[in-house]
A and B are shown apart, each in its own frame.
Chain A
Amino acid sequence: MTGLYFHIPFCAKKCPYCDFFSVSYHKETVSQYVGAIIRNLSAYAPEEMVDTIYFGGGTPSLLSAAQIGEILNACAKYAHLSDSPEITLEFNPTGERTQYLHDLRTAGINRLSIGTQSFSDAQLSLLGRTHRAADGIRTVMTAKEQGFDNLSCDLMLACPHQSEAVLAETLDILGKLPITHVSAYLLQVEEGTPLSGSSELLSHLPDDDTSVDRYLQTVRTLAEFGFQQYEVSSFAKAGFESRHNTKYWTCEPYLGIGAGAHSCYGGTRFQAKRDIAAFCTAPIQPTELIDPSPCGTEERLMLALRMKRGVPVDALTLQAQKKLPLLEKGGYLRAENGCVSLTPEGFAVSNAVIAALLG
């Protein structure tokens, strides 16, 4: 089974912490861009069954429902869709968008990943987000009313001034919303972003220990609300794990279309060039090879260890297996029933734990 990923690199306003590739929204360009996506779909015409489709960004919710519909129609035309594909769209919770949500649902989108980030207005404005807490709540409620039964909310952790109480309030609201999934990210200061240049904000970032306290608070609280952690940053109610994102961790193929989109497809990893003009005009998106033979043992282990289900003990080298008792004693992982899986404390230091096991 293959996943399809569409990268929509347009934003109304760039968030000060974000270092992903995106440009300002421009109606004409976006329409050309949608045409190019469809052209690429016809060019690639994936043979394998497609069971997930994901619109990521950027801000895919800047596309009109009609444009989304066109792309999904093209998917149906040029690819083989499975019976019940998971079709996700990243949604920016700004303004009153009842009609839009209705149209998206009608066009075939069945899962929304909503960029709520926080339900504290103070936090949202610190993060430079244009929406308020109420916008996030309303978007979720409206989407639910419009027939979305699979909703995910984004949550930003370790933000400036994010105390335990501030986070608790946000988590409490999350727990009451009719959602199935939460993606919780630790804020990372990326070089070159406006955040990295703001000494005022940087001085209020929590230190590593506090950041991890927030992370563990999140894991704990979400569990109480019925969201089980299944990956470093992902939490879901039973049966609502993101099928698309899971492909990333399990080395299943996905085809990324759009300027800057990543693919693991046709036996290689590659990335489309971050060049919107080139994407819009070329018959097929220009790409750069990242890895000619991906999904080797080490890569698989590295990715699989980010998931709660972990890896079989005997998939590890003997040398790595010898390290297990100590790491288990440190509370970083559990080795039981022939399986090794990281604990939440282990996820918080997963770079080091994975390096220890693969090094």
Chain B
Amino acid sequence: MMEGVWAALFIFTLAAFTGYEVIAKVPVILHTPLMSGSNFIHGIVLVGAMVACGHADTLMEQILGFIAVFLGAMNAVGGYVVTERMLLMFERKKPGGA
């Protein structure tokens, strides 16, 4: 158990630094697309919801599991579509730089 906690703590700290580093020094024009992009990435919650729903036994658990998967899928798909549409704008007008 102890080992697991420490490993988790290491993962947590390193992931936090990674997130911080990746975003630092981003031009203002990319704030909105990037927020949208990170919104998409936490759509990974979908896999957790799938596992939770996949282990649901009672009706109540199944209902909640269904809702969790439904919402998670919306997060992932919606986040992707919106982000891609925003970033398409940059692709066309890229020359010249920001």
Do A and B interact?
Answer: no
Interface residues of chain B, those whose CB is within 8 Å of chain A, are: none
* Chain A residues close to B by CB (< 8 Å): none
